[in-house]
C-alpha cells in the first residue's frame, strides 16, 4: 500500500513545523506557539507515522528517543582533530598571547577577535550530511571519540535536521560544541538521586559527562542536557571567512550558539569583556570557567596553525576556579546569636573563585554524617552563590585511614553548658541565654575605642566573627587571618587588610587601657587609670593584696575585692597570659627592677687572676650590683684570692671574712 501524496505532504509539513518550533523553543529560547499547540502538532505526526510506519525517517522529530541500549560505544575518528586550548589566567598572559600572534604574522595593526564564554561541559562533534544529523561523538583523545549518536539525539537543542533560513545547507557539516547541564537541573538531579540513595555528582560537568556516556539512551533522555556550538570540523559546500560569520551561520542553521558571544577589535577590549563575564558568571544558569579568545579571521587562523595539542589562534582566558580541592584540618563549633551550634570545617587555605578560603560551614551533625566528612579528608569546596564556601563532598579515594570521624561535643564551646537538641531538629543549641550575648559584649568591650581601640571592629563584625566560629574568646582576635575575614559577608581584600592592621596596631597599648579592656567588674576607665598610676606594672597589680588595692585613694573595698578576685581566678590569669603571648605590649609599664645577683655584696681582690684582668673583674662586680673595695674590713663579704696573694688574704683570715678562689668567683658571676 503506497502512502497517499497528501499524507506525505502533511507529514513533511508537520516535521518542518515541529523542527522550527523546537528551534524557537530550545535554541532561540523564544517560542511562538503555546505548549498545547506544539503538543497537538507532535500528536498528529505520531498518529500519521503509526498509520504509515514506512514514512518514519531517523530525522523525524518523533525519533529522538527509542534507540535500544548499546553494549559498548563504537570508536569514531575525528577527521579534523579536536584540539584543546592553552590556558591563561592573567592579563599579562593575554597580552603576551596577542604579541606572539602579531610576531608570528609579522603585523602590527589591531586584530579582531571573537570572545566566547568557555562552557564547562564536555566537547562533542555532530556530523550533518545534507543537513541530517547522522553521527555524534565525544572528543575522546581528540583524534578518536566514542559514538554517542543515540544519546545526543535525545538532547532537544540538537537539531536532527538543519534549518536552511536562506543559507543553503552544506553537503557535509561537522559541528563542535559543548554539552552541559544547567546548575538548577544539576541540583534537582542530585536531590532526586540522594532520595533514591544513589551517589550524587560532584558538579554539573560530571553530571553532563555521566549522562552522555549512558549505554541506554532512555537514561540520557531523562537528563536535562543542552548544547552550545562553537566550532567546526570538515565542511563541504560552504565557505566561512570569519569565526563571527561561522557562529552566526550555525545559529541560522538551527544550532544553538551562546548569546554572550562578542566580536571586538584589540586585545584590551577582550580583557574588559573577560572582567564583565567574570562578574556575570554567577548569574548565569550554567557554569563557565573562562572566556575563549579566537582570532576572528579564518585565513589568519590558518596561517597561525596549531602546535601539537592546541591552536596558536585561540586561548582560554580562565576565571579563578569556583571549586577547588583542599584538606580539612579540624572541625570546630561556632555559636550563633540564638545559641545554634554549627560545625565549621577548618581547611588548608585554598583559592576558590578568586578568593582564599579556609573555613566552610558544615551545617549540622546530620549533614556531616550524610556526606561522610571526616577530619583529615580531602574535600571539594565550592563557593555557593559566590559568598559562603561549602564542602561539596570528601574525596574518599584519597583517604589514608588516618581520618577521624567527627563526634559532636556534648557541651557549648563558649560557656560549657550541656547542649540540647529538640525532637526532629538537626541542630544542637546552647541553652544558656547569657552565652552568645555575653561573649559578644565582652569582646566588643575589649576592642572598643576607650579600650584596645581596634578600628573597624564594631559589635556587628564581632558577632559575625563569633557566628562563623573564627573567634571564641578575646585572644582569638590576634589569630585572625585574612582568609577568615574574606569568608565573611561585607569583607573585601582592602577592608580585611585594614582590620588586620588595626588589630596589629592595637597590640601596643597602655596599662590603663589594657586594665579597662579585660573587663574587670567595677573597673571603668577612671578606676583603671587610678590603679595603673599607682602600681605602674601589670605584674604588681596582679600580685597586690586586697588591702594594698584599698590603699589607693578612690578605690573602695568592693572594687578592691573585685580586682583581687579577678586576678586570682585561673581563667583570667590564663587570658592575660594568652594576650601577652599574642604580643600585647604595655608601653607605659614600669618594669620592676630585677634584683641583681651581686646586689649589695662587697668584694676585695688579692693576688693575680688567671682568666680576668683586675679591671674587668671590677666592672663585672659593679654591673651585677656589687661593690669593689680596696681594703678588707669587717663589712667585706668576699675576698677573691688569686695567685701569690698579699696581706689582704691574711687580714681576711684574721677578720673571719670569707675567702673564695678565682673559680668560685667565676661561678658566682656566671
| Contact set with ligand IVH (CB under 6 A) | 83-85, 116, 118-119, 123, 139, 178, 230-231, 292, 311, 314, 316
Nearer to ligand IVH, 118 or 374 (CB): 118
CA-closest candidate to residue 26, choices 228, 236, 288, 219: 228
Nearer to ligand IVH, 58 or 233 (CB): 233
Distance CA(361)–CA(368), nearest Å, equals 10
**Least distance from ligand IVH to the Cβ atom of residue 118, Å:** 4
**Least distance from ligand IVH to the Cβ atom of residue 229, Å:** 9
Distance CA(306)–CA(314), nearest Å, equals 9
Instruction: Output the DSSP codes for 388-417.
Output: EEEEEEE-GGG--S--EE----SB-TTT-P
Q: Which residues, 6 or more positions from 624, have their beta carbon under 8 angstroms from its beta carbon?
A: 596, 597, 598, 599, 669
CA-closest candidate to residue 22, choices 11, 33, 12, 13: 33
**Least distance from ligand IVH to the Cβ atom of residue 88, Å:** 12
Give Cα 616 distance to the centre of its chain. Answer: 62
**Least distance from ligand IVH to the Cβ atom of residue 276, Å:** 16
**Least distance from ligand IVH to the Cβ atom of residue 230, Å:** 4
Nearer to ligand IVH, 231 or 469 (CB): 231
By three-state DSSP, how is residue 647 classified? helix
Instruction: Supply 139's cell numbers.
Output: 572528543
Nearer to ligand IVH, 311 or 645 (CB): 311
**Least distance from ligand IVH to the Cβ atom of residue 260, Å:** 10
**Least distance from ligand IVH to the Cβ atom of residue 315, Å:** 10
Measured from each CB, the residue nearest to ligand IVH is 123
Instruction: Supply 319's cell numbers.
Output: 576565571
C-alpha dihedral over 242, 247, 249, 253, to 10 degrees? Answer: 150
**Least distance from ligand IVH to the Cβ atom of residue 298, Å:** 12
Instruction: Supply 505's cell numbers.
Output: 596596631
CA-closest candidate to residue 257, choices 301, 302, 217, 227: 227
By three-state DSSP, how is residue 600 classified? coil
Nearer to ligand IVH, 11 or 119 (CB): 119
Q: Which of 72, 118, 294, 449 is catalytic?
A: 118
Nearer to ligand IVH, 94 or 657 (CB): 94
Q: Which residues, 6 or more positions from 343, have their beta carbon under 8 angstroms from its beta carbon?
A: 331, 332, 333, 334, 361, 362, 363, 364, 365, 368, 406, 408
CA-closest candidate to residue 641, choices 600, 599, 610: 610
Helix (H) or strand (E) holding 8: helix 5-22
**Least distance from ligand IVH to the Cβ atom of residue 123, Å:** 3
Nearer to ligand IVH, 182 or 550 (CB): 182
140: left (phi over 0), alpha (psi -120 to 50) or beta: left
Distance CA(88)–CA(357), nearest Å, equals 22
User: If DSSP states are collapsed to H, E and C, what string results for 502-570?
Assistant: HHHHCCEECHHHHHHHCCCCCCCHHHHHHHHHHHCCHHHHHHCCHHHHHCCCCCCHHHHHHHHHHHCCH
Nearer to ligand IVH, 316 or 427 (CB): 316
* 3-state DSSP helix/strand/coil % of the chain, to nearest 5: 40, 25, 40
Angle, alpha carbons 557-562-565 (nearest 5°): 120
Nearer to ligand IVH, 82 or 333 (CB): 82
Active site residue 118: yes
Give catalytic residues, as residue numbers. 118
Amino acid at each position: 500500500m503506497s502512502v497517499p501524496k497528501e499524507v506525505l505532504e502533511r507529514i513533511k509539513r508537520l516535521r518542518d513545523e515541529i523542527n522550527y518550533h523546537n528551534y524557537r523553543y530550545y535554541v532561540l529560547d523564544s517560542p511562538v506557539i503555546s505548549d498545547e499547540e506544539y503538543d497537538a502538532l507532535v500528536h498528529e505526526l505520531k498518529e500519521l507515522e503509526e498509520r504509515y510506519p514506512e514514512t518514519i525517517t531517523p530525522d523525524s522529530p518523533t525519533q529522538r528517543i527509542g534507540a535500544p541500549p548499546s553494549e559498548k560505544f563504537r570508536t569514531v575518528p575525528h577527521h579534523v582533530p579536536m584540539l584543546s586550548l592553552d590556558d591563561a589566567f592573567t592579563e599579562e598572559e593575554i597580552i603576551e598571547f596577542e604579541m606572539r600572534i602579531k610576531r608570528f604574522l609579522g603585523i602590527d595593526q589591531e586584530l579582531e577577535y571573537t570572545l566566547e564564554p568557555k562552557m564547562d561541559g564536555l566537547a562533542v562533534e555532530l556530523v550533518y550530511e545534507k543537513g541530517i544529523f547522522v553521527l555524534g561523538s565525544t572528543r575522546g583523545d581528540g583524534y578518536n571519540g566514542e559514538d554517542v549518536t543515540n544519546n545526543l539525539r535525545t538532547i532537544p537543542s540538537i537539531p536532527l535536521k538543519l534549518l536552511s533560513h536562506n543559507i543553503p545547507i552544506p553537503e557535509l557539516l561537522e559541528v563542535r560544541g559543548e554539552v552541559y547541564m544547567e546548575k538548577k537541573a544539576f541540583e534537582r538531579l542530585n536531590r532526586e538521586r540522594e532520595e533514591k540513595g544513589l551517589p550524587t555528582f560532584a558538579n554539573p560537568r560530571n553530571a553532563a559527562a555521566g549522562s552522555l556516556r549512558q549505554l541506554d539512551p532512555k537514561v540520557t533522555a531523562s537528563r536535562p542536557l543542552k548544547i552550545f556550538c562553537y566550532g567546526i570540523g570538515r565542511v563541504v559546500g560552504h565557505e566561512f571567512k570569519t569565526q563571527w560569520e561561522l557562529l552566526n551561520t550555525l545559529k541560522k542553521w538551527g544550532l544553538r550558539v551562546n548569546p554572550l558571544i562578542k566580536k571586538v577589535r584589540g586585545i584590551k577590549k577582550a580583557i574588559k569583556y573577560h572582567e564583565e563575564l567574570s562578574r556575570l558568571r554567577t548569574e548565569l544558569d550554567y557554569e563557565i570557567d573562562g572566556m575563549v579568545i579566537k582570532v576572528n579571521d579564518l585565513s589568519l587562523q590558518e596561517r597561525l596553525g596549531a602546535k601539537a595539542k592546541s591552536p596558536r589562534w585561540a586561548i582560554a582566558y580562565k576565571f579563578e576556579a569556583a571549586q577547588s580541592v583542599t584538606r580539612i584540618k579540624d572541625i570546630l563549633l561556632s555559636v550563633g546569636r540564638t545559641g545554634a551550634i554549627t560545625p565549621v570545617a577548618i581547611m588548608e587555605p585554598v583559592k576558590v573563585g578568586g578568593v582564599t578560603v579556609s573555613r566552610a560551614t558544615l551545617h549540622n551533625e546530620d549533614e556531616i554524617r550524610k556526606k561522610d566528612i571526616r577530619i583529615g579528608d580531602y574535600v571539594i569546596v565550592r563557593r555557593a552563590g559566590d559568598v559562603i564556601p561549602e564542602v561539596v563532598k570528601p574525596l574518599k579515594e584519597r583517604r589514608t585511614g588516618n581520618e577521624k570521624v567527627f563526634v559532636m561535643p556534648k557541651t557549648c564551646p563558649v560557656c560549657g553548658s550541656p547542649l540540647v537538641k529538640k525532637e526532629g531538629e538537626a541542630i544542637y543549641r546552647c541553652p544558656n541565654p547569657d552565652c552568645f550575648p555575653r561573649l559578644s559584649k565582652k569582646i566588643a568591650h575589649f576592642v572598643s575605642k576607650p579600650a584596645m581601640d581596634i578600628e573597624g571592629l564594631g559589635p556587628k563584625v564581632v558577632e559575625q566573627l563569633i557566628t562563623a566560629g573564627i573567634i571564641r574568646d578575646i585572644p582569638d582576635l590576634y589569630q585572625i587571618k585574612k582568609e577568615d575575614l574574606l569568608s565573611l559577608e561585607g569583607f573585601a581584600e582592602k577592608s580585611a587588610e585594614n582590620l588586620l592592621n588595626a588589630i596589629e596596631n592595637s597590640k601596643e597599648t597602655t596599662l590603663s587601657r589594657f586594665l579597662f579592656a579585660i573587663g574587670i567588674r567595677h573597673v571603668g576607665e577612671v578606676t583603671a587609670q587610678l590603679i595603673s598610676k599607682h602600681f605602674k606594672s601589670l605584674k604588681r597589680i596582679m600580685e597586690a593584696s586586697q588591702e594594698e588595692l584599698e590603699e589607693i585613694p578612690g578605690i573602695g573595698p568592693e572594687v578592691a575585692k573585685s580586682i583581687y578576685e579577678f586576678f586570682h581566678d585561673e581563667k583570667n590569669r590564663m587570658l592575660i597570659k594568652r594576650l601577652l603571648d599574642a604580643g600585647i605590649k604595655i608601653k607605659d609599664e614600669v618594669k620592676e627592677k630585677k634584683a641583681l645577683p651581686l646586689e649589695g655584696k662587697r668584694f676585695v681582690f688579692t693576688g693575680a687572676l688567671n682568666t680576668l684582668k683586675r679591671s674587668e673583674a671590677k666592672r663585672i662586680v659593679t654591673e651585677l650590683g656589687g661593690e669593689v673595695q680596696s681594703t678588707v674590713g669587717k663589712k667585706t663579704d668576699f675576698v677573691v684570692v688569686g695567685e701569690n696573694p698579699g696581706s689582704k688574704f691574711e687580714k681576711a683570715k684574721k677578720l673571719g671574712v670569707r675567702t673564695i678562689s678565682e673559680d668560685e668567683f667565676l661561678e658566682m658571676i656566671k
